[in-house]
A and B are shown apart, each in its own frame.
Chain A
Amino acid sequence: MVRSLIGTEVAPPTWLAHRSGMPRYTRRALPGYEVPLHLLVSGGLRTITNARHTVNCGCWVPEGDAGHFDHGTLLNPTEEFLREEGREVPGRVALLYENLMYVGNLERIIDADGFPRAVVGRAVSMWWTPSSLAPGWYDNEGRQVEYQFNPRYLGDETEVMALSVANGSRLLGQMLRRTPGRTTYNPVNQNLTTDIGNQPMQNWMVETFIAPRPEHRSSVPESPRAVTPDPLEGFDTHEARMVEMERRFSALTLAASVRAREEDWCGDYEEACRTMGLSEDHYSRERTEDGEAIRNVTFEVTMELTYNIGTTALDRLLENEFTGSHDVRDSVDVKSRVTVNITQGITGDQDFDEDQHDLDEILDNAGYNDYDDADVLSWRTI
């Protein structure tokens, strides 16, 4: 039986580790950090393995990873966890969902055991849509099932954190629409994957959930984020920040990547360019077979990059590949604000499929593809 209680050494069944190709994981102590009272993690197999690889935590495997493992082959320790802990789960509770359908499960578990319906503490739902399953999910009979996000399963104080690679972003949209002001999503992590040992995810978990131990605090570097100007200064609420970031990203992706497939939509892209502060000095319009397209958008992006000490990426950074200032710290998770000049030349007969040219691809095309992630903070025309 898989027991995933804090303080209990846990390893997945050997057959499972073999089947998944994963090594048996071991709980790793993170020097200088401590887990808040409880960290309860649920999610797919790779999620919880990553989590346990990073921190001491209770793990909930909701009937296995729907996409990769048979249902019901893993036991769900959450109920046991809650029961043994008593009627209350103090401290921070992290609920990492592959899909918010599990919120329903949580409610049932809590109800069945007489626990309060609302999640106690601060619940953070981390959700992503595995591209292999998008746009829907499948039950164990192969039928596609579409789940909807229903905030009624969340306590009024529950904070929702959506972490998504968002291929099928329907649920993400529902979260944003249905819990406005309570849903935060972090584009820094939008490329997060769940591969075992995935450093961005581990960094994110440490940064989000793990507090420095008092005796080590002096040696734990401060977050560079804390000393860098807030790119969203003036947007004080989650909702306002979300909307502003969305606006910026939408404008950026629109202006940099879209192709006007039909002439009557071209105006939207021009509007997006104007939103970015771009004028026709910064892009050109061309007639195409499909209508009219925006070409040759030139802009400058200030990004916050996340990378890891010792990686090739850092070496390249230190070689001053980027322009702009660097703020490099010896940390498990180093972030730096850099400014990258990008001229996105959209010319010739290239097929600029509208679904392919998002920011990541632009950065890739510009040669900035060795970084774990990048968060665009701002941009301006050059």
Chain B
Amino acid sequence: MRAIVERTQRASNSWSGNPTVRVTTDQGTYLTETDSHSGLVALGLEPGDVVELTITEGRIEYIDEIRNEEEETHGPITDRY
């Protein structure tokens, strides 16, 4: 399902600060569990990001930004090649 990242909380500006991300869907509000062994990586997600996520047994199992295929690696700089 799709959702919008409502809020992130990270302890550090470094990569190690994998944030906790809160998203609200029509099924409720969920937090990523980034301090577990889930392998979930929320790094780089920001409030307002539109994400695709899957919920399994009440937990976010997968989350990633909705990709814009047009923008992926085909921005103006790469187009200049």
Are the C-beta atoms of B12 and A265 separated by less than 8 Å?
Answer: no
- Chain B residues whose CB sits within 8 angstroms of the CB of A109 once the complex forms: 81
Out of A101, A140, A249, which one reaches B73, CB within 8 Å? A101
- Chain B residues whose CB sits within 8 angstroms of the CB of A171 once the complex forms: 44
Are the C-beta atoms of B41 and A173 separated by less than 8 Å?
Answer: yes
Are the C-beta atoms of B77 and A140 separated by less than 8 Å?
Answer: yes
Chain A proximity mask over B21-44: 1 for CB below 8 Å, otherwise 0 = 000000000000011111101111
CB of A187 within 8 Å of the partner chain: yes
Are the C-beta atoms of B44 and A71 separated by less than 8 Å?
Answer: no
B-side interface size class: 35 or more
Are the C-beta atoms of A103 and B75 separated by less than 8 Å?
Answer: no
Chain A proximity mask over B51-81: 1 for CB below 8 Å, otherwise 0 = 0000000000001110110011111111011
CA distance A150 to B11 in the complex (A): 27
Out of B15, B63, B80, B81, which one reaches A140, CB within 8 Å? B80
**Interface residues of B, dominant DSSP:** loop
Are the C-beta atoms of A173 and B45 separated by less than 8 Å?
Answer: yes
User: Quick one: given A170-B44, A185-B15, A358-B13, are A147 and B75 in contact (CB under 8 Å)?
Assistant: yes
CA distance A109 to B78 in the complex (A): 11
Give how many A residues have a beta carbon under 8 Å from the other chain's beta carbons.
Answer: 68
Are the C-beta atoms of A359 and B14 separated by less than 8 Å?
Answer: yes
User: Quick one: given A253-B12, A358-B16, are A174 and B73 in contact (CB under 8 Å)?
Assistant: no
Are the C-beta atoms of B76 and A139 separated by less than 8 Å?
Answer: yes
- Chain B residues whose CB sits within 8 angstroms of the CB of A176 once the complex forms: 41, 43
Are the C-beta atoms of A178 and B64 separated by less than 8 Å?
Answer: yes
Are the C-beta atoms of A173 and B77 separated by less than 8 Å?
Answer: no
Out of B17, B20, B80, which one reaches A253, CB within 8 Å? B17
CB of A172 within 8 Å of the partner chain: yes
CA distance A198 to B14 in the complex (A): 21
- Chain A residues whose CB sits within 8 angstroms of the CB of B9 once the complex forms: 265, 268
- Chain B residues whose CB sits within 8 angstroms of the CB of A239 once the complex forms: 39
CA distance A226 to B15 in the complex (A): 26
Are the C-beta atoms of A145 and B76 separated by less than 8 Å?
Answer: yes
Are the C-beta atoms of B44 and A272 separated by less than 8 Å?
Answer: no
- Please report which residues of chain A, range 115-169, place their CB below 8 angstroms from some CB of chain B when the two chains form the complex: 137, 139-141, 143, 145-148, 150, 153, 164-169
Are the C-beta atoms of A141 and B41 separated by less than 8 Å?
Answer: no
User: Quick one: given A148-B67, A148-B73, are A359 and B16 in contact (CB under 8 Å)?
Assistant: yes
| Min CB–CB distance A100 → chain B (angstroms) | 7
Q: Name the CB-closest residue of B to A143.
A: B76
Out of A72, A250, A358, which one reaches B35, CB within 8 Å? A250
Are the C-beta atoms of A148 and B64 separated by less than 8 Å?
Answer: no
CB of A364 within 8 Å of the partner chain: no
Task: Contacts A140-B80, A145-B71, A358-B14 known; list 4 others, CB within 8 Å.
Answer: A148-B72, A172-B43, A187-B16, A258-B11
Question: Which 8 pairs from chain A and chain B are nearest by CB?
Answer: A173-B44, A104-B73, A173-B43, A170-B44, A249-B16, A139-B76, A166-B15, A358-B12
